[in-house]
Structure 1
């Protein structure tokens, strides 16, 4: 091997070696932060050094603590880590340039929330980088360490004497995790001691600022994962909903966010939904059509589409600020025409739509993407037989925080099941906003004889009445399973009815007026199943959810469907 080192002066070689060492070695604070994460979990971090270019890639491996239904709805593989990959200066660490961020799951091609998390962490780090440095972080940790060991066990207000505490300094950029059921911190103000934090269990909560920067990233990521559905996937501003946050993450109505959402592919997955979930897509399109054709469309067709013009990506072909129902109805008719043809691949269907109407496929994408509920077709062996329809779906629309609140209330008060019937035209909005307390509002269609609240019934006959369908096909009102069509889409009829089976908290707030129930608290009502009927037919009118046999079958089906 050719080299000039043999002819070099030994002192020059020593100087060159020392210079290389200065670049190649990790900054001591970076090394300490990596060790801190490894102390937390040896598998939580992996490191690759690029000494020759003064770089280091740090991969933080984070498990998302999500219910299975949430993980499925968000396209997260719950058994695989979420990798947050950061690229720092090896020798400068926090004094170097702000790190680049990449978020992914190694084997998850449709990791829909990855772009949203990557954007959130990029913003968080850029804000932190204005106020952080190696020296400041070391000084902060030394000061906090000194304070923790000092005489902070003096008398505290409210009977908190003789309790060792630590100072908490949460970054302004950090958004609060409001998933009920997680550890909640109580903050007591003391001007001379900044903030003192106690947990309900009496144990002190470790501050993010007491940790190294890498541990801060892990904690912030864990917190934000639980609240992704509460914020726009592009701008990260909090959604404003009349009722409550829904399950699936979504884009807000700001035009710039809509452009980014569709043109930059912020959330991927609609293609897979359209390609593999044909029955779900049929149902969403049918609900959209019913709302659009309703005489009440100005009220119930909500949200109105935000669709980018395929010929000009800077213009919205459909916008909530300029509603054109006639044009929308025309394009939707073309969507229906293509989706009812015998289908091959998804790309073939898209090409057909582009030929028939360039706006048809973008509108179909919007219909799929704007759905904020998690809907899964139940296989026949996991269906509720007494509902007499093959079109049965798991329907989870509540946010993680609402489900957690519901679980807490259920432990105290218990729960039962009841039906909720609503006309097909209302379901376009229900899947995107949840079951609303519509009493006394413009959304109210029927009377509110017993006051404000969500109306339910343990009797199928009453809910079928509210669904807008009354026809039956046998003496006892039962409709036998219809044979599935051999080709094409599963919904051949435009005459559809839907009723939901909900789980409701049996607290004193649940008011029972014979077979009509009312609950004024939306958080105490969660959808579990949706049943669809075609051609004006409905199921048995004699189903009573309070019948022990019926309740037993419901619980068995829920147990067989872990997404519940």
Structure 2
């Protein structure tokens, strides 16, 4: 297997260096990945699939699952207390580092700032961890150009834990609902308590001693949404068309947002509720 690390140093050295600088970012990336790997729906959830585990064009899920079970505590790994194979280091680097969208772990003081920004109180309490998604220059420019002089508002999206690996890589592009009562689109809510109902606690696939999050957690996405005709909601009295395509229930109800064009939204923050 070919390594994914830099040419001038081993993948193990690169991994330890990355963990020492971005530990909490790596922890979340790994937790979301292992939640997907250990799900019974792993074959459909692992998008993208680690390229080093594709053999003759087919994903080797059993080999991947076996290696995932052997992933040690990242804190001990970052401290240089453990040794792992270059193969496992390659996998971990791919999981935690090589992604277009970067994670930034924010200090607890950011919770208050975020509450002011959204104007929303979190009835389930402040999350244990808050992450900002940082986009590359091309993605940032594309969203900014789409927004132009239009209003951008915040809305929350809840989903099962094992879905957030693909959300981290692709946003909500693959999460449009085609069968819901109020029509086709990606469903969000302006109220965090409503979205939280769709984010049940799930198993990370890691033990309490292996992960800072413990063995279970819940994630809530805070999204930025461009107020476009393809975005259906009820809180703007000037909006004439509040019905999404193929809606059987009529207009989108209060506190809900249905986005029929996912170019009009992006996940900006991840609120992580965990045991640790």
Q: What RMSD in Å do the two structures reach over aligned CA positions? A: 3.2
Match of 2:257 in 1: 517
SS of corresponding position for 2:219: strand
1:339 has 2:67 as partner = no
Q: How does 1:79-478 map to 2 (within 5 A)?
A: 259=2, 261-262=4-5, 264=7, 270-307=15-52, 318-319=53-54, 321-335=57-71, 338-339=72-73, 343=76, 345-349=78-82, 351=83, 353-354=84-85, 359-384=87-112, 386-387=121-122, 388-397=126-135, 399-439=136-176, 447-469=179-201
Segments of structure 2 that go 5 or more residues without pairing to the other structure are 116-120, 203-207, 234-251
SS of corresponding position for 2:47: coil
Higher-helix-fraction structure: 1
What is the distance in 2 between the residues matched to 1:499 and 1:334?
Answer: 28
Aligned residues, how many?
Answer: 239
What is the distance in 2 between the residues matched to 1:294 and 1:488?
Answer: 18
What is the distance in 1 between the residues matched to 2:98 and 2:80?
Answer: 21
| Per-residue CA distance 1:222-244 (angstroms, 9 max, x = gap) | xxxxxxxxxxxxxxxxxxxxxxx
What is the distance in 2 between the residues matched to 1:522 and 1:344?
Answer: 38
Kindly indicate whether the alpha-carbon contact (under 8 Å) linking 1:511 and 1:518 is maintained by their aligned counterparts in 2: yes
Change (3 A) 1:450 1:273: farther
CA shift for structure 1 position 516: 1.8
Match of 1:185 in 2: none
Change (3 A) 1:488 1:439: closer
SS of corresponding position for 2:59: coil
| Per-residue CA distance 1:371-423 (angstroms, 9 max, x = gap) | 332111111222246541230111134x4334323323433321110001111
Segments of structure 1 that go 5 or more residues without pairing to the other structure are 1-257, 308-317, 471-484, 538-564
1:503 has 2:238 as partner = no
What is the distance in 2 between the residues matched to 1:437 and 1:359?
Answer: 30
CA shift for structure 1 position 437: 4.7
SS of corresponding position for 1:431: helix
CA shift for structure 1 position 259: 3.8
Change (3 A) 1:532 1:404: same
TM-score where L is the length of structure 2: 0.74
What is the distance in 1 between the residues matched to 2:211 and 2:4?
Answer: 28
| Per-residue CA distance 1:139-180 (angstroms, 9 max, x = gap) | xxxxxxxxxxxxxxxxxxxxxxxxxxxxxxxxxxxxxxxxxx
Change (3 A) 1:361 1:402: closer
What is the distance in 1 between the residues matched to 2:200 and 2:210?
Answer: 27
Kindly indicate whether the alpha-carbon contact (under 8 Å) linking 1:414 and 1:505 is maintained by their aligned counterparts in 2: yes
